[in-house]
Amino acid sequence: MPIIQISITPQTLEKKAELSKTYTDEMHRILDIPKEAITIVFNEMPAESIANGGEMLSERMKRMRK
């Protein structure tokens, strides 16, 4: 039973459902396993808890919105 863990900033239920369907469909297609055997776990982390390249993601997102 594959378990896919997705670490992501908080998203709407609709976006998570779309991601879940896409990942499940592709795992099913590529590995030829039943969709029911595929589990997806969303690990939501606020942008204030993520840094990349020494810069907080929350600051980068603010800068990109301008």
What mean pLDDT do residues 3-18 have? Answer: 97
User: What's the Cα-to-Cα distance from 12 to each of 8, 9, 18, 48, rounded to whole Å?
Assistant: 11, 10, 10, 18
30-54 b/e (C-beta count within 10 Å ≥ 16 → b): eeeeeeeebebeeeeeeeeebeeee
Can you give the pTM of this predicted structure? 0.80
Give per-residue pLDDT as tens, 22-57: 999 999 999 999 999 999 999 999 999 999 999 999
Please report the sign of the dihedral spanned by the C-alpha atoms of residue 15, residue 16, residue 19, residue 20.
Answer: negative
Q: Higher confidence at residue 66 or residue 58? A: 58
The residues pairing with 51 across neighbouring beta strands, listed in sequence order, are 56
3-state secondary structure of 40: strand
Domains and CATH numbers, the chain: 3-65 (3.30.429.10)
